Structures are given as C-alpha cells and as structure tokens.
Amino acid sequence: MIKVGIVGGTGYTGVELLRLLSQHPKVELAAITSRAEAGTAVADMFPSLRGRVDLSFTDPAQAPLKDCHVVFFATPNGVAMQQAGALLEAGVRVIDLAADFRIQDVAVWEKWYGMTHAAPELVAEAVYGLPEINRERIKSARLVANPGCYPTAVQLGFLPLIEAGCVDVDALIADAKSGVSGAGRKAETHILFAEASDNFKAYAVPGHRHWPEIRQGLTLLAGKPVGLTFVPHLTPMIRGIHATLYARITREEDFQALFEQRFASEPFVDVLPPKSHPDTRSVRAANVCRIAVHRPQEGNTLVILSVIDNLVKGAAGQAIQNMNLMFGFEECLGLSQLPVLP
C-alpha cells in the first residue's frame, strides 16, 4: 500500500485521478490540495465520489505531501516546477500531468509556455511517461512528465511506422480533434455550451503548445528531425480525442501486421482489424488507445486513426499506469474499467 497525494484536485484531471485512484487496491489517498476549496469535503464538490473519497481539500501549505510515496500534480502549467524539487529531496516521487518537464530543451519550453522555467536542473532527469516507449526508464524514475493528450494519440499512431523507417518523416501530418474537457474546468467563452455545442472549428493552427512535444518524441524515434504539421480542432463533445494521421510510404510493408506486432504486448493499445473506424465513445472513460490502419485507394499515403479518452489515457489513467510501473505493481492494476457506452 502506498500513500498518494494530489496537488490540484478540483479540475477534470484531478477528479479523474480521484475516481481511478479510489478504486486502486494498492493506494491510500492521503492528501488532496486546493487553495480555493480548502476545508470543503471532496464528496460535496464531486458527489460521484460519495462513499469512496472521505477527504477534504487541504491548503497546499498544510498538506502532508512529504509523507506520501508519490504526488501527482494535476495543476496548470508552471506549478509543478515550483514544488517538485522539495518533494524529490524528501524522497517523494512525482508525476506531473502538466507540461513543466515534458520538453527537454528548456529554451523551447520557455518560448512556447511564455515563462521562465523554475527548475531547469530537473528537466534532464524527468522521464517522459509514455510507457509504450519508455517503460523501463519509468520504472526507476523519481520524476515523470506525463504526456499531453494530443501527443499520446499522435505518437502512438505514428510509432510503428517511424520505428520501422518505412514512411517519409519530413512530411507527417496530424489532424486531431478534442472534446471540450481538454480545455480544463474553467469558464472561458469558447467552451461555453452555447459556443461549443453544434459547432466545429480548428484552433491554434499557427502553433499549438503540443506541437514541440509531439515533434520531440517523433524526432527521438526517427533519430533525426521530423517535419510535422499538427492541426487541432474543438468538437462539441465532452471527452475524447480522434487523431487522423497521414504518412507517405517510402518502403512497402504489411502495415497491418506491423502495427499488430508492435503493440501485441501492450495492454492499453488495441489495433483494430482492417477497414475499421474507431470512434471516441469506444474508449470513453477507459485507459486505452484504439488504432486502425488504412491505405486509401491503395495509394502511397497511409492514414492512421487513433482514438483515446483525453482524461484517461491522455491524462489521469496514463499517470496511474506510470505509477504502477514506478512502484512495481502490475501495470494494469486499477485500470481495468471498461469504456462507458453510450
């Protein structure tokens, strides 16, 4: 049994962590922080957790985080980098669900996130928490940078092709769509019901913060810089990411077999049969990525369809998957929930 703390428990990823961790047989929830909601019972804010989470939110200054074995940061960008160092010194392991430690080039991070990094010395130590690539490094990590939601769907979709070296990495295209929960639990005009419902639009086309993260991962896989066009879209749904990926073929392969073999031992990646079209509701509330491989008109372009729940495999579920690896638990422990339908 390990003691777990959560910094920032009032957002969508925070409550998703609570939902999943409260069902984990090896976890004791020890602290959940929120300055604004300190003293409020978690179950009063989130009635879905009544009878499962008996804690109240605690001000971070008073929370017993240093008594925990691991602390999750479900906070806005820029928070974990301020607090992670002290926890690591106290022997606490840290999993950051924000972007503070994802990008290894600190100057690139500062450019895209518009602030000075408070702990650049920790960036080199942080392990990027995509288990399908970094499983062995995650096991011994003190600090894990949990991947973003778009980067998870996109990297898993391109992974077998780039590892095999059978596509043109100079001209990769990722056309991705997300539900409104990806914007966080906050009041902003573009995610109001009257704005987002019955509507569909692209956004951040000149540049999205997840672009350098995705490009960094694909570059490491390819062993050289890749060319990536990434266009995100907002869809009128709550959960889910659908990434449509395009890659030009440079060498013939049995591409279906390539994907099936690469992910055969991966518990949370499901390669669908030929001609399949995965939908976001097939992964709703589950820690799974479903992938389908297409070659339209038998041409020279592959189309890969990759779907995840942005709050689970794209955030809280993947973070718990990383925790399981870090503490020597069975990787699927606490993550066996089936998708919710409808």
Cite the active site residues: 149
Radius of gyration from C-alpha coordinates of the chain: 20
Q: Which residues, at least 6 apart from 335, have a Cβ–Cβ distance to it below 8 Å?
A: 20, 268, 287, 317, 320, 321, 324
- Of 82, 83, 85, 77, the closest CA to residue 102 belongs to 77
Cβ 33 vs Cβ 6: under 8 Å: yes
DSSP, collapsed to helix, strand or coil, labels residue 6 as: strand
297: left (phi over 0), alpha (psi -120 to 50) or beta: left
Q: Are 335 and 320 in contact (CB under 8 A)?
A: yes
Task: Show the CA angle centred on residue 81, arms to residues 88 and 93, nearest 5°.
Answer: 25
DSSP assignment of 240-305:
-EEEEEEEEBSS---HHHHHHHHTTT-TTEEEPPTT----GGGGTTSS-EEEEEE-GGG-SEEEEE
Task: Give the sign of the dihedral formed by CA 2, CA 148, CA 152, CA 315.
Answer: positive
- Report the alpha-carbon angle 3-4-9, nearest 5: 150
Give me the helix-helix angle, 149-164 and 255-262, nearest 10°. 120
